[in-house]
Each structure stands twice: as structure tokens, then as C-alpha cells.
């Protein structure tokens, strides 16, 4: 994704490639500014103005989004893809009853009657464990708690039985017990309806709860990708390692100081010539500072963009 | 020995009792962690301690002296309690440089000459590991983590004994969070500060605290030394909170359906009983939970749990030890 800048255009997402298989749950992990949310918006053709998306291929349910006629693209995105955002209050219209909002997508894209759509909406609310759906459909968003609102936006996404749900920090504004409930609902949808999920979060521990594969982004690029077990137990990229060491968890010795990452993420207008992580990296070599590493395989399904890791791993 | 104590604190917002008869003791040179879900009343306690919300009943004492007294003595005492807020974007004046912001806090709190104050500003910046050039820059020129350091420096300008940190890392990225948490621990060791550390994040509270108190709907439901609380939680709510924390590669458990009830109509007896995994809705013959408030009888115990059936819940520690991993 490109934004016009003072000099060269800024690329908050640069050369990102990945796929999410049918029925798969993939995690996308990164800190703010890593480009993870913009990647999701690019997939949904929701790039914020004046951002422009370029891609060799952007493919949803077998259809090439960038070459599709606008009306067919709208239909495809409206029915095959669902988005769940961080703040459910801002994705719901505060002035409309929840029922109306739930059926809008179904009426627009599938041209079904209001009564039928309402019946479906009731089923969807029940499937995300909202009790008393009949009454709930007539209520306004303010009458729901935060966790309930997020369930409503998930139910809304489910109305057209999408192939893929992109959930961008869906639990970040929620309490830990509610977070666990939402993650459980997502997993249940995946299990029962076979819906693929791209779960975007800053929290690798959360992502590891339900995904089979994870991607780690830094400064607009994917720096590591692999099966979740490999990422957790044998992370190859120094950034992935540093990220995990920096987070307190219930099993770490609490008397040992947390490891920190020196410096701060680079300014997108002023990226270093080589690896973007090199200035903060404890193992950077001369080459890291000169030449940006590409994402290369180092094991089954495991790819990493780091000169040092690529040297070391295949020999192990 | 505790530096700041809260006795029977209640706080009223109109018809809502946001905090109901809370006792807390912040250990001297140590940290008391306060956890709970949003709406449990933890931030309200912090605000009451520093005098930002009126106290309905109860008392806050510092070194045995009540903080709410009027007059110069109490004012000098209150100065010794400072607070750092969650959002470093709204807690700093955008039109004041970092140096001016810290200097302002010095002017109010310490009788120093302008030159002495400037020296003090620079040494406070050193203390929170910011370069001295930061003094001339405005908040928008700093990252979130750096702003939080400025907010900490500003709180330290009053030379406090107790620092209240209310969700200080919640708006920060995880790599920055580690820096701020480590800084707070270093400052505590160096300056002998006492902390009230408030967070909804149990892992962070565990890392920071010597003692932990768990809040639910305006009450402390469990309080214990950190290791005890996490390895042997006695209250079913604490257990549910701990189990819900996502751990890398370990399945978190949903033991708690629904959300905190409406504080205008708190449930009778034990306030947690409608959601409790070992309560009257799950097990028969537990009418006592509906009828009798378990709050009394927890005073003075090192590991206090306000539950009629405290200790019945096992610990996740055992589950973790048994190796119930995802992989």
C-alpha cells in the first residue's frame, strides 16, 4: 500500500504475500505501525484515502479482486468476506436498532425479504451466544455491553455466510474474561461453518489460542511466517524472539527483568537501507545494514526474513 | 509495614456505590497490585486516594495520618502521593514542553529557585532515562512510551512516597511496555517508592506486584501475596480471571459467562454468585451464597478470600504443571 509523501511515496505495507486456506485460522501479529491493519484493509479494498493498493494478486474465494468489475467486486466482498474491528461501538450505527443493521448486508447482496432476513439474524445472534435474540434485535447498540457489541458485529459478518472473517484486534478493548469468550466464539464458527479466519493482534499469546499458522510483521513487511508451534518454540527472527521475551506471562519468573527492545520502530519515511530491524537488532551483521533480506524458507512452512537466521537454520 | 492504608472506603456516584467498604494496604517500598475488570471500581479507588473523587465513608491514611484532613499538614502529606494516568496523550498539556511540564510540578510542590528547579528538571529526565534535550520538546514530538516517562518524571517531581499507576502501560505497544515496567521497578528500588499498580492485565500485575488485590463490583474479593494468589487462588472469580489469560500455546479457559452485572442492582449475598462456577446456580444447597454476604471475616488474614467456599477451586498452576498444552 502506498501513500503519496513529500518525496518518495510511503509504503506502510511493502511486498506482503500470504494466503489463508479454506477453513484455516491464520494469525497476523505486529505492533502499531507494523502495517497489519492496513494489510487487512487492503484485502477488503478499504484502503484509506489517499492510499493506493498495488498487488500482483489479491484473490478472495478464487476471484481476482483487482481486475474484477466494481459491482461484482462489491458483491464478492459483501458476501464472501466479513470484517470485525477493534471498537464495536464505532462499527455499529448508534441510531439504528441492531436488527436493521444485521439484515442490511443480506438484503443488499442477497435480495431476501425482511422477515426472512430477520429470522436469519435471530439465528446468527443465537450462534454467537446472545440470549433473547428476538428482544435484542429491537435494541440499540448502547443497550449492549462491550462484549455483546462485539458479538453483534461478528453475527453481522456471519449473515452472508462468508468464506473468510478478518478480525482486527477484536478483543483489545475487552476484559480478559470477555476476550476468552470472543475467541471461543470465533473458533466455534470456524469449526462449525468452516469459515476461515485471519486474526490480527499485537498479542502472540492470544493468536496462539486458535490459529494454526502465524505471520509476524515489522515495519510493513512480513519478517517471519510459520506453524504456530514453530513460531512459539523455535522463533527464528530476532524480532519475533524479542517480542516474546518482552511480554510478561504467568509462567515467567517474575523477579527476572523483562527483556526490552532497544530503540524504536523506524519512521516509514526514513527506513534504513537494509533490514528495517537492523538498528535495533542484537545479531545484525554488515549485510543486514546494507541489503534487505527476503522471506526465505528455513523449514517446513517456516519462512524468515533475516540474513543471520537463514544462514544458521538450514544447517541445524 | 505499610505506607498507605485504605480503611472501609466507600465511594458513591449518585445511586451507584462504585466502591463498597474497601480495605487496602500498600506495603512500604513495595507494590500492591489491583486487578479487576472494567467497572470493578479500581480506578475509582485510585482517584479517591488522590482526592479526585469525594469519599463517602472510610479513610485513607498515610503513615497513620488521614489524608482527607484540611489544612497545610494534610496538604504536605497529600503531596507525597502522586499519580500516573493511562493515556500519556491526554495527561500532558500539548502546549507545554516536557521541561515546562516537569517544572510546573516542581513549582507547585517544592520551594526551589528557578535555577535549582532547572537542575532538578534535568536530573528527573536522567532518572526516567530521557535525554536532556527532551526538556525543550513538545508532547507530540515523543512516542507513547516516552510520554509516559515524562508523566512519571512529573509525578516524581513532587518527591512522592507513594506512586499510583493506573493502567500506565495499557495504551503502549508490548515492546515499549517492557521498558516502562522495568523503569518503574528500577525507580522503586532506587528511590524506595511504594506503588499502587492498577491494571486489568494479570500478567503485568504479577510481574510488578508483591501483593495483589482482586476487585469485583466495588469489592475486594481476594487479597494475597502475589505467588500465593497466582499459584493457589481461593476465590472462584480470581481463578476464572487467571484461567482466561491467554498463554502462548496454552488454551485459556472460559469459566465465566456474561459480564459484570449492573452496579445499581448488585446481586444479593455474594455479588459474584450469579456467575460463579461453584455457586448456587451450579451446585445445590448453596443458598448461603444468595443470602449471606461473605465479605466479613476476611480481615487481617494474609490470604483473604471473600467466598463461603474459599479454597474449593483448584489452581491452573496444577493444570499447567500437568502439561495441558495446545500442541
Beta bridge partner(s), residue A221: A218
Pairing of strands A213-218, A196-201: unpaired
**B200 chain-A contacts, CB cut-off 8 A:** 175-176
Do B207 and A252 count as a contact with CB atoms less than 8 A apart? yes
Do A206 and B246 count as a contact with CB atoms less than 8 A apart? yes
Residue B132's CB is within 10 A of a number of other CB atoms, namely 12
The Cα–Cα gap between B178 and B180 comes to 6
Q: What is the mean pLDDT of chain B?
A: 89
Cell numbers describing residue B74: 494534610
Q: How confident is the model at residue B240 (pLDDT cuts 50, 70, 90)?
A: very high
Average pLDDT over residues B13-41: 93
CATH architecture type of domain B2-215: 3-Layer(aba) Sandwich (3.40)
Give pLDDT tens digits for A105-127.
Answer: 999 999 999 999 999 999 999 98
**B173 chain-A contacts, CB cut-off 8 A:** 31-32, 202
The Cα–Cα gap between A154 and A151 comes to 5
**B182 chain-A contacts, CB cut-off 8 A:** 257-258, 260
User: Which residue numbers of A have CB closer than 8 Å to B's CBs?
Assistant: 31-32, 129, 145-148, 175-181, 183-184, 202-206, 208-209, 228-229, 232-233, 242-244, 246-252, 254, 257-261, 264
Do B182 and A260 count as a contact with CB atoms less than 8 A apart? yes
Do A250 and B230 count as a contact with CB atoms less than 8 A apart? yes
Give the pLDDT score at B299: 62
Beta bridge partner(s), residue B247: B250
Q: How confident is the model at residue B326 (pLDDT cuts 50, 70, 90)?
A: very low
Better-predicted residue by pLDDT, A241 or B256: A241
Closest by CA to A218, choosing from A199, A235, A243, A198, is: A243
Cβ pair B235, A198 in contact under 8 A: no
Please give the residue of chain A at the shortest CA–CA distance from B261: A145
- The domain ranges of chain B are 2-215, 227-321
Give pLDDT tens digits for B102-133.
Answer: 999 999 888 899 999 999 999 999 999 999 99
Can you give the pTM of this predicted structure? 0.90
Give the pLDDT score at B297: 59
Tell me the nearest-neighbour CA distance from A294 into chain B, angstroms.
Answer: 24
Do B37 and A177 count as a contact with CB atoms less than 8 A apart? yes
- Tell me which residue in A232, A247, A264 faces B174 most closely, judged by beta carbons: A247
Give pLDDT tens digits for A177-188.
Answer: 888 989 999 999
Please give the residue of chain B at the shortest CA–CA distance from A209: B251
Do B178 and A250 count as a contact with CB atoms less than 8 A apart? no
Do B248 and A145 count as a contact with CB atoms less than 8 A apart? no
List CB contacts of B258: < 8 A, sequence separation 6 or more: B274, B275
Using alpha carbons, list the distances in angstroms from residue A184 to A14, A24, B252: 32, 15, 9
Please give the residue of chain B at the shortest CA–CA distance from A242: B175
The Cα–Cα gap between B246 and A181 comes to 12
Cβ pair B148, B168 in contact under 8 A: yes
Do A176 and B38 count as a contact with CB atoms less than 8 A apart? no
Closest by CA to B152, choosing from B183, B194, B123, B174, is: B183
Do A261 and B178 count as a contact with CB atoms less than 8 A apart? yes
- Please check the confidence at residue A193 and state whether its pLDDT lies above 70: yes
Question: What letter would DSSP give residue A3?
Answer: B
The Cα–Cα gap between A62 and A70 comes to 16
Q: How confident is the model at residue A227 (pLDDT cuts 50, 70, 90)?
A: very high
Cβ pair B226, B206 in contact under 8 A: yes
Tell me the nearest-neighbour CA distance from A186 into chain B, angstroms.
Answer: 13
Which of B35, B42, B207 to mutate to probe the A interface, most A CBs <10 Å?
B207
Tell me the nearest-neighbour CA distance from B238 into chain A, angstroms.
Answer: 11
Amino acid at each position: 500500500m502506498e501513500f503519496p509523501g513529500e518525496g518518495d511515496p510511503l509504503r506502510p505495507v511493502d511486498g506482503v504475500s500470504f494466503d489463508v486456506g479454506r477453513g484455516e485460522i491464520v494469525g497476523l501479529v505486529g505492533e502499531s505501525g507494523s502495517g497489519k491493519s492496513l494489510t487487512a484493509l487492503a484485502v477488503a479494498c478499504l484502503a484509506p484515502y489517499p492510499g493506493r493498493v498495488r498487488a500482483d494478486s489479491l484473490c478472495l474465494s478464487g476471484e481476482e479482486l483487482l481486475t474484477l468489475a466494481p459491482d461484482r467486486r462489491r458483491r464478492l466482498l459483501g458476501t464472501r468476506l466479513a470484517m470485525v474491528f477493534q471498537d464495536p461501538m464505532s462499527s455499529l450505527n448508534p441510531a439504528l436498532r441492531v436488527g436493521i443493521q444485521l439484515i442490511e448486508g443480506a438484503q443488499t447482496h442477497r435480495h431476501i425479504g425482511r422477515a426472512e432476513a430477520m429470522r436469519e439474524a435471530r439465528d446468527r445472534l443465537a450462534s454467537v451466544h446472545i440470549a433473547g435474540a428476538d428482544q435484542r434485535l429491537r435494541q440499540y447498540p448502547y443497550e449492549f455491553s462491550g462484549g455483546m457489541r462485539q458479538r453483534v458485529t461478528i453475527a453481522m459478518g456471519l449473515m452472508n455466510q462468508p468464506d473468510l472473517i478478518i478480525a482486527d484486534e477484536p478483543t483489545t478493548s475487552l476484559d480478559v474474561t470477555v476476550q476468552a469468550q470472543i475467541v471461543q466464539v470465533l473458533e466455534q464458527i470456524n469449526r462449525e461453518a468452516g469459515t476461515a479466519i485471519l486474526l490480527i493482534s499485537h498479542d502472540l499469546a492470544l493468536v496462539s489460542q486458535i490459529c494454526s499458522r502465524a505471520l509476524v510483521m515489522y515495519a510493513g513487511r512480513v519478517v517471519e511466517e510459520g506453524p504456530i508451534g514453530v513460531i512459539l518454540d523455535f522463533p527464528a527472527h530476532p524480532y519475533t524472539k524479542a517480542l516474546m521475551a518482552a511480554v510478561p506471562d504467568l509462567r515467567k519468573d517474575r523477579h527476572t527483568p523483562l527483556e526490552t527492545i532497544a530503540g524504536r520502530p523506524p519512521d516509514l519515511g526514513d527506513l534504513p537501507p537494509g533490514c528495517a530491524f537492523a538498528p535495533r537488532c542484537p545479531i545484525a551483521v554488515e549485510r543486514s545494514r546494507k541489503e534487505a533480506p527476503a522471506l526465505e524458507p528455513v523449514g517446513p512452512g517456516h519462512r524468515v526474513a533475516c540474513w543471520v537466521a537463514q544462514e544458521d537454520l538450514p544447517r541445524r | 509495614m505499610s505506607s498507605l492504608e485504605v480503611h472501609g472506603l466507600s465511594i458513591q456516584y449518585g445511586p451507584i456505590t462504585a466502591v463498597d467498604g474497601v480495605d487496602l494496604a500498600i506495603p512500604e517500598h513495595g507494590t500492591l497490585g489491583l486487578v479487576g475488570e472494567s467497572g470493578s471500581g479500581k480506578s475509582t479507588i485510585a482517584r479517591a486516594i488522590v482526592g479526585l473523587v469525594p469519599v463517602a465513608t472510610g479513610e485513607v491514611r498515610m503513615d497513620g495520618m488521614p489524608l482527607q484532613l484540611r489544612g497545610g499538614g494534610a496538604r504536605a502529606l497529600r503531596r507525597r502521593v502522586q499519580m500516573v494516568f493511562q493515556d500519556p496523550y491526554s495527561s500532558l498539556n500539548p502546549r507545554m514542553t516536557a521541561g515546562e511540564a516537569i517544572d510546573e510540578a516542581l513549582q507547585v510542590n517544592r520551594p526551589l529557585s528557578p535555577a535549582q528547579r532547572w537542575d532538578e528538571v534535568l536530573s528527573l529526565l536522567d532518572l526516567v532515562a530521557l535525554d536532556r534535550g527532551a526538556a525543550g520538546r513538545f508532547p507530540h514530538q515523543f512516542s507513547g512510551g516516552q510520554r509516559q516517562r515524562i508523566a512519571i518524571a512529573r509525578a516524581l517531581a513532587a518527591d512522592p512516597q507513594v506512586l499510583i499507576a493506573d493502567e500506565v502501560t495499557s495504551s503502549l505497544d508490548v515492546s515499549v511496555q517492557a521498558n516502562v515496567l522495568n523503569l518503574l521497578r528500577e525507580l522503586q528500588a532506587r528511590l524506595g517508592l511504594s506503588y499502587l499498580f492498577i491494571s486489568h492485565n494479570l500478567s503485568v500485575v504479577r510481574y510488578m506486584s508483591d501483593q495483589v488485590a482482586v476487585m469485583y463490583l466495588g469489592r475486594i474479593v481476594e487479597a494475597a501475596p502475589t505467588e500465593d494468589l497466582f499459584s493457589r487462588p481461593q476465590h472462584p472469580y480470581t481463578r476464572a480471571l487467571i484461567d482466561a489469560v491467554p498463554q502462548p500455546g496454552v488454551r485459556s479457559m472460559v469459566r465465566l459467562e456474561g459480564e459484570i452485572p449492573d452496579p445499581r442492582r448488585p446481586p444479593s449475598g455474594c455479588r459474584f454468585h450469579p456467575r460463579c462456577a461453584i455457586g448456587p446456580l451450579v451446585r445445590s444447597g448453596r443458598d448461603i451464597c444468595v443470602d449471606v454476604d461473605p465479605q466479613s471475616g476476611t480481615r487481617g488474614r494474609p490470604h483473604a478470600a471473600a467466598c463461603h467456599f474459599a479454597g474449593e477451586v483448584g489452581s491452573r498452576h496444577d493444570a499447567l504443571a500437568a502439561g495441558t498444552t495446545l500442541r
